[in-house]
Structure 1
Amino acid sequence: MAVALTLCDRSEEMVRAWQRYFPLDLGVRIVKGNILTLPVEALAVPANSFGYTDGGIDLTISREIFDWRLQERLRAVIDRQYAGELLVGQALVMATGSDRFRYVVVAPTMRVPGDVSATINAYLAMRGILLAVEAHNQSAQFGHERIRSIAVPGLATGVGKMPPERSAFQMYTAYRSIVLSDLEWTRSLDKQVEYDRKMREIGAARTGDS
């Protein structure tokens, strides 16, 4: 996947957590700041399964990039192509028609708004984002239609209440699996069960979660 990845969040804790898991030699850029200021072609938009974008970063993107029409367009696509519900783990690419960001990659981090801190939803959403971009680029008929750079915020850490440490670890696990093709942890059911437990529990001692 020859796509430049930037991880960007306003939270210092989120940024530090990414830095602990994403080695420098991967070339993944980690930035503390406003994701809307980055010079990238695509933005990842955390959402819920039914396409409501009225909170958090998705609300900001709707206002800044779509002139408030993101929810309307997204829900129409979900109704038409996904029978009304985009599952956690799925993602879709939408052209924006904007000169600032050519695409958004919408990936639910929760089915409906709520606490998903004990789930692996950040992993599933990140995996969905990476696979959607890969599929989009493979199907692009012309080079200018390809996504060459994308920015992703912390996943499931807002309304979802997932600790940044857990979110960062899950996001890195998805990156390892899809971009680095490191699937060693999936080679047996015992390994999968153990890694699933780790993804749900990591960061508990650091954050005081149970």
Structure 2
Amino acid sequence: MTIELLKGDITTIPVDVIVNAANSSLLGGGGVDGAIHRKGGKAILEECIQIRNRQGGCATGEAVYTTAGNLPARYVIHTVGPVWNGGSNNESLLLESCYLNSLRIANELTLKSIAFPNISTGIYHYPKQQAAEIAIHAVQTFGEEESSLEQVFFVCFDDENYQIYQKILSK
């Protein structure tokens, strides 16, 4: 499994599955969540509503998947990252769970490529350096297991996250 770093808009990346940094309502929001819902179209929202009706949303650290609608992917995995509250409320374990649960779903679907945004580093205020370390460690740990995944992309929208990931991945 290879890990690649990209700077850009995750909604334009042609992969099997794009990960959405969703909120627990699954009804869209700001940041990457809003962009995925806008560009993906109503099919994503319709499936999110079905999931809500079935299970009442998505808990922090958990993940669910839907169609990718109009996006250049087959699926969207929606995962709910933790809101940063100083680090004493299991935020690191919950963030790690976002990545691991997303990877497990991709593997269950026997997908070959997945693209992650920088989960929880926007309006949830997770410190970017810590979030990047958790993300990379989770992916590397998962990569040691047998998996259908061949490519993992970290897609950074801003320069700061891109430089943080670049520094960690170059070690």
Using structure 1 for the length normalisation, give the TM-score. 0.60
| Counterpart check, 1:79 vs 2:43 | no
Between the aligned partners of 1:130 and 1:87, the Cα distance in structure 2 is: 17
Matches within 5 A, 1:137-176: 137=110, 147-176=111-140
Letter in 1 for 2:141: S
Distance change (3 Å), C-alpha of 1:102 and 1:122: same
TM-align CA RMSD: 2.3
Moved more, 115-124 or 43-52: 115-124
Distance change (3 Å), C-alpha of 1:109 and 1:150: same
| Counterpart check, 1:126 vs 2:96 | no
Distance change (3 Å), C-alpha of 1:160 and 1:117: farther
**Runs of 5+ unmatched residues, structure 1:** 3-26, 138-146, 182-202, 204-210
Give the length in aligned residue pairs: 142
Moved more, 42-51 or 98-107: 98-107
Quick one: percent identity of the two aligned structures? Answer: 23
Distance change (3 Å), C-alpha of 1:73 and 1:129: same
Aligned-residue offset at 1:30: 0.1
Indicate if the aligned counterparts of 1:117 and 1:161 stay in contact, CA closer than 8 A: no
Looking at both structures, which has the greater relative contact order when contacts are Cα pairs under 8 Å and sequence separation is at least 6?
Answer: 2
Between the aligned partners of 2:86 and 2:14, the Cα distance in structure 1 is: 31
| Counterpart check, 1:63 vs 2:50 | no
Between the aligned partners of 1:126 and 1:117, the Cα distance in structure 2 is: 20
Letter in 1 for 2:6: V
Distance change (3 Å), C-alpha of 1:59 and 1:32: same
Question: Which structure has the larger Rg over C-alpha atoms?
Answer: 1
Aligned partner of residue 28 in structure 1, secondary structure: strand
Distance change (3 Å), C-alpha of 1:126 and 1:153: same
- What does residue 60 of structure 2 align with? 88
**Runs of 5+ unmatched residues, structure 2:** 146-163, 165-171
Distance change (3 Å), C-alpha of 1:129 and 1:115: same
Using structure 2 for the length normalisation, give the TM-score. 0.72
